[in-house]
Structure 1
Amino acid sequence: MDVFAQEPSLSQSKEWIRGLREIHTPNGIETLEQVELNGAKQWISIRGKDRNNPVLLVLHGGPANPLMPAAWAYQTSWEDFFTVVNWDQRGSGKNWISSDTTQLADELSFRTLIQDAYVLVDYLREKLEKDKIFLMGYSDGSSLGIRMAARIPQKLHAYIGVGQMAGGNPEKVIYDQVMRLAEVDGNETALNELRTLAPYPATDGSTPMRKLIAVRKWSRYYNGGWYGKPYFFFYYSLPNLSPEYSDQEIKSLDVSMPWITRRLLPKGPVAEIPEEFQIPVFFMMGRHDLHTPYLSVEDYVKRIKAPQKLLFTFEYSGHMPFLEEQGKFLMVLVNQVFPLSQERK
């Protein structure tokens, strides 16, 4: 059969990706399952070439922007060294279709999500027979992850923050930096649009979503989202080829993400971002990041007290260095993070 005789359908392409990623090693693991976390069934993916490898739990961003349906595009090489767990948080991703939205609206809060995450950590430690795991927080998920790193150090080898939320006044940092870039560029369209948003952000924390979106349009234009790409089209297209997601689940992302975001953002974390840790903390940041600004993280790292703290800078990345500079990202995971699983048993 000539597989190139006709253009493959989307479903065929997904099956080819599934086949390419299939784990054949005798001690490997490849599961997609619903688990009960804190009273709610939630989907997780567990993938790795060797169960003896350390476990890496990834907390996605958003809110409600799961990484599971995009992981096929960047994660396969990680699975040689880690057992990688992707979790669709309460109501998000694969969970949306079966969710009771009335109940979900009452349950959704930062506190609920972090409690879910604590339960998941214990579930993974028992299931995969590991005393400690690695925790990676990405973007909005880093707000959960950094607090977990301070609160449950006895269960973690280390914390890795990617697109880290670092406190302070990041919206002002983003706005001021985008304004400077537009001025240097002589971009009058950007400058006029940004000036109409002032004062930004609102001092009482009530900055409307339309203003947040308007600023991010220009932050992406100036490499702050994906270096060299002024939009997230490619990233948001990745779920279309995800073997883990049905067509219905892919379509539901357009509904679930804004719905959950509108309900979660006003209930953000109350506790301050911690600055003292008993475990190593690493930050993997794109130099150009203007979603969780690099400058804020650079300042945050200076204030942290930890057995080990390192900031890894990806010079040609914005908010997603794991997609933008995949080889360098893997090298940091393998050379800097992985060895800690041997040292901190």
Structure 2
Amino acid sequence: MNPQKLQIRFVLAVCLLACTLGCALAAPALGAAGPDDDAVRARAVMADLLRIPSPAGVQETYRTPIRGVDHWISIRGQDRANPVVLFVHGGPASPSMPSLWQWQRPLEEYFTMVHYDQRGAGKTYREDHSDALADSLRIQTYVDDLVAIAEHLRARLGQEKLVLMAHSWGTIPAMHAALARPDLFRVYVGIGQVIDVRENERISLAFGLAEAKRRGDAQALREMEALLPYPGDAPLTRERIVAARKWPQHYGGMAAFRDETNPWYYGAARLSPDYDDEDRAAINAGSLFTLGRLLDEYVKVDFSDVRRFPIPVVMLMGRHDYTTPSQPTADWLQRVDAPYKRGVWFERSAHMVPWEEPGKMLVTMLEVVRPLVRE
């Protein structure tokens, strides 16, 4: 299929979405209307636009028990016969379900897309955020949850193997799951891949320092130089990480060429038909609930010594990503032995590849990933 035609098709879909929402927000109200009424009407328009009427399609958002915890799962696609993509969201506890409307709809024509709110995240956090659940928050727990969800989907959707796709934090349990259970997956697609957390932190701050010097930003230089040596031998605490990432993200290391921390992403849930007010409140609550409990393990993550990967691997790498810098991923790809390996650079992206370059992502999934599923 012609990539240029696909790009045009995607742009038209986005324009339609923007036009439809704009009409909804601009339409005269039946009674007195405030900002909340506008949001309700916009979500109704979004729900109708996202509805999948195809008889062969699937559209489900449901709760199901996975290893003792009720997880929320979203399944969307125009044809059940299409390959199934299981998407593992970032964070920890930054669910992708409330923002999938921003980038996923064209992919649903060629793949059945599955998202789930991990334990302690979003809608799943609302089901259980007990002390007992808090004590279970370990990387291996998320790996075991992911494997169980993959097995659940195989049975529910009638497909032997899935495409495993992960973003940011989600690449950690996903890499472990692919290594432990390659029988479940046809290909692994990493986005904002984590290879070595400490090396990522070093590269990120080095970028921030270089950019601050280039811009003559004295305040930024003072703040970052106060952190040196970084990461050094001191513990990588939440406070140090937040301080170290402040300026690299301000300089576009989270979203390329933007000096804001993605208000379009963090506000996405307000237009999501799948998320109500309590679900939206649970996003921040889940983040606070999980991060501190996972941090000690997270900062020790290092896949550098993984020299053999059991399934085809495709890495989507933002050229300007200084949240999980892409160069360690490119270096790892060069030395790893895998049945198939491919790195795709996204020149206009930083950390948020699906949101920043959804057109190129669609073309990449069709030209690179889908042929691997057919083999």
With structure 2 as the length reference, what TM-score do the two structures score? 0.87
Q: Which amino acid aligns with 2:202?
A: K
Q: How does 1:268-307 map to 2 (within 5 A)?
A: 268=298, 272-273=302-303, 274-307=306-339
For residues 61 and 251 of structure 2, what CA distance do their matches in structure 1 show? 37
SS of 1:86 mapped into structure 2: strand
Q: Which amino acid aligns with 2:76?
A: R
Q: Of 95, 102, 127, which residue of structure 2 is paired with 1:66?
A: 95
For residues 28 and 298 of structure 2, what CA distance do their matches in structure 1 show? 53
Given that residues 161 and 186 in structure 2 are in contact (C-alpha distance below 8 angstroms), is that contact kept between their aligned partners in structure 1? Answer: yes
**Which position in structure 2 is the counterpart of 1:13?**
42
Q: Give the drift of 1:272.
A: 4.8
Distance 1:111-1:57 versus aligned 2 partners, 3 A rule: same
Q: How does 1:27-38 map to 2 (within 5 A)?
A: 27-38=56-67
Q: Give the drift of 1:137.
A: 1.1
Distance 1:154-1:269 versus aligned 2 partners, 3 A rule: farther
Query: Is 1:325 paired with 2:354?
Result: no
Greater mean deviation of Cα atoms: 247-256 or 325-334: 247-256
**Which position in structure 1 is the counterpart of 2:133?**
104
Query: Is 1:218 paired with 2:247?
Result: yes
Q: Which amino acid aligns with 2:264?
A: F
Q: Deviations over 1:188-242 (max 9, x none)?
A: 12111101112211425x1221221122221112211011222222110101111
Q: Which amino acid aligns with 2:157?
A: L
Q: Which amino acid aligns with 1:304?
A: V
Say which structure is richer in helix: 2
Q: Deviations over 1:71-104 (max 9, x none)?
A: 0111111100110000100121101222142111
**Which position in structure 1 is the counterpart of 2:200?**
170
Q: Give the drift of 1:275.
A: 2.9
Given that residues 173 and 296 in structure 1 are in contact (C-alpha distance below 8 angstroms), is that contact kept between their aligned partners in structure 2? Answer: no
Q: Deviations over 1:254-282 (max 9, x none)?
A: 22112211111123387752331121100
For residues 28 and 163 of structure 1, what CA distance do their matches in structure 2 show? 30
Greater mean deviation of Cα atoms: 43-52 or 225-234: 225-234
**Which position in structure 2 is the counterpart of 1:124?**
153
SS of 1:338 mapped into structure 2: helix
Q: Which amino acid aligns with 1:210?
A: E
Q: Which amino acid aligns with 1:227?
A: A
Q: How does 1:1-345 map to 2 (within 5 A)?
A: 4-6=27-29, 9-167=38-196, 169-204=199-234, 206-230=235-259, 231-268=261-298, 272-273=302-303, 274-343=306-375
Q: Deviations over 1:105-163 (max 9, x none)?
A: 11111111110111011111111111111000100000111222222222211000000
Q: Give the drift of 1:50.
A: 0.1
**Which position in structure 1 is the counterpart of 2:9?**
none
For residues 285 and 267 of structure 1, what CA distance do their matches in structure 2 show? 24
For residues 236 and 100 of structure 1, what CA distance do their matches in structure 2 show? 22
Q: Which amino acid aligns with 2:28?
A: A
Given that residues 195 and 302 in structure 2 are in contact (C-alpha distance below 8 angstroms), is that contact kept between their aligned partners in structure 1? Answer: no
For residues 62 and 132 of structure 2, what CA distance do their matches in structure 1 show? 22
For residues 162 and 209 of structure 2, what CA distance do their matches in structure 1 show? 41
With structure 1 as the length reference, what TM-score do the two structures score? 0.95
For residues 341 and 169 of structure 1, what CA distance do their matches in structure 2 show? 33
Q: Which amino acid aligns with 2:73?
A: I
Q: Which amino acid aligns with 1:5?
A: P
SS of 2:85 mapped into structure 1: strand
Given that residues 89 and 170 in structure 2 are in contact (C-alpha distance below 8 angstroms), is that contact kept between their aligned partners in structure 1? Answer: yes
Q: Deviations over 1:169-188 (max 9, x none)?
A: 21111111221122222221
**Which position in structure 1 is the counterpart of 2:10?**
none
Tell me, which stretches of 5 or more residues in structure 1 are unaligned? none
For residues 129 and 284 of structure 2, what CA distance do their matches in structure 1 show? 17
Q: How many residues are matched? A: 341
Q: Which amino acid aligns with 1:39?
A: G
